[in-house]
Amino acid sequence: MGLFDKLFGEFIDIIEWTDDSHDTLIYRFERYGNEIKYGAKLTVRESQVAVFVNEGEVADVIEPGMYELETKNLPILSTIQHWDHGLQSPFKAEIYFCSTKQFVDLKWGTKNPIMIRDEEFGGVRLRAFGTYAIRIKDPVKFIREIAGTDGHFTVDEISDQLRNLIISRFTNIAGSSKIPVLDLAANYDQLGKYLTDTISSEFEEYGLELTKILVENISLPSSVEEALDKRVSMGMVGDLDQYIKYQSAEALGTGGSASSAMDMGMGFAMANKMADSLNTPSSPATGKDGQTPATPPPPLPTQTLWHVAIDDKATGPHDLAAIRILIKDGKLTPDSLVWTEGMEDWKSARHVEEIGKLIPPEL
């Protein structure tokens, strides 16, 4: 800095900082030789604090407001500078403006998939990402622990460390929460709040406040997502025969060619013929006495098998004999949830006739 800068600095008696960068945490006010005129005007705006550093030691922390730099306004700095007799000359000190506003929409996300154990699918790999927000809570601690003598400290200089901290704690929480993979989407808010509460104290060690963490998405590998899509599609199809009829009607109704409709009809006819040949028993042979052997009896009717919710877990399938044992042991009550193939949803045992009649009236 040349002579002109020094002279220009002598006439400037306004010390302030306006931030247009939107990512600056700390800004050091530059003055030639760190000389600040006695009686200079200091403006500290809302969402800022000013920290005076003299010879490497924090002297004063100034809250928002407008100040005239005199001994009565800087008691600690006055002691360090030995202003016992009201010295009127410039004094040397560094002034760091610290932004105390929230820095929002900071990104975090897993660089590599994390492995967790799921009760339904076994070991699965997850990716997660979201945003978080921070602010400076303790300016002195932040300068001592993180910023040091950096005259222009931005969010980017610490975001990697904060992001790694969030991912590490998220991995532990996701692995120990035991939330089913298919239910994670319904628990984003709870995960974010729990994650915020868990690691806030670690951010405070840096002089920062973690105001919020948002979990925006948790995803499975593409191959697993495709398998889940197929599984859901099969469940939505329902009655395959009705689905095929619907698809064929749609093909005809949307202008399908006559040849394609004919091919489809021939295909259905062949399929039905093959199914009939497999399901229809062959004609019995005639015995030596000319008598036709007796027709074998039809297969025994299959028994309905039931699933029962015990201790919030689905058990089964159980036949009626096993159901009676569960009732006898007190594991199946009128309020227990039961389900069998063909039911749309679980129902209380009392509302299912076949099981309700097996429960004693006194229960």
pLDDT for 273: 59
State both tokens at 284: 């019995």
- Count of CB atoms situated within 10 Å of the CB of 44: 20
- In whole angstroms, give the CA distance from residue 60 to residue 45: 16
Give the percent of the chain with pLDDT over 70: 70
Give the pLDDT band of residue 159 (cuts 50, 70, 90): very high
For the chain, how big is the Rg over CA atoms in Å? 38
State both tokens at 107: 């990104």
Is pLDDT larger for residue 225 or for residue 238? Answer: 225
CB 116 within 8 A of CB 174: yes
Residue 277 pLDDT > 70, yes or no?
A: no
Is pLDDT larger for residue 186 or for residue 249? Answer: 186
Is pLDDT larger for residue 303 or for residue 320? Answer: 320
The overall average pLDDT reported for the chain is 79
Angle at CA of residue 172, ends 171 and 178, nearest 5°: 100
Is pLDDT larger for residue 34 or for residue 288? Answer: 34
Residue 50 pLDDT > 90, yes or no?
A: yes
- How many residues are given for the chain? 363
Alpha-carbon distance values, 272 to 8, 237, 260, 277, 331 (Å): 98, 20, 18, 9, 46
Least confident of 129-133, 222-226, 310-314, 348-352: 222-226
Over residues 141-153, the mean pLDDT reads 93
146 Cβ contact partners less than 8 Å away, ≥ 6 residues apart: 153, 158, 206, 207
Alpha-carbon distance values, 38 to 53, 73, 263 (Å): 16, 11, 98
Give the pLDDT band of residue 363 (cuts 50, 70, 90): low
Extents of the domains making up the chain: 3-99, 103-222, 306-356
Over residues 254-283, the mean pLDDT reads 56
Is pLDDT larger for residue 185 or for residue 142? Answer: 142
Angle at CA of residue 338, ends 316 and 241, nearest 5°: 85
Over residues 19-46, the mean pLDDT reads 84
- In whole angstroms, give the CA distance from residue 113 to residue 286: 69
pLDDT for 67: 87
CB 38 within 8 A of CB 88: yes
Residue 85 pLDDT > 50, yes or no?
A: no
CB 67 within 8 A of CB 42: yes
For the stretch 318-331, pLDDT in tens is 888 888 888 888 88
pLDDT for 134: 96
CATH H-level superfamily of 103-222: Band 7 domain (3.30.479.30)
pLDDT for 334: 87
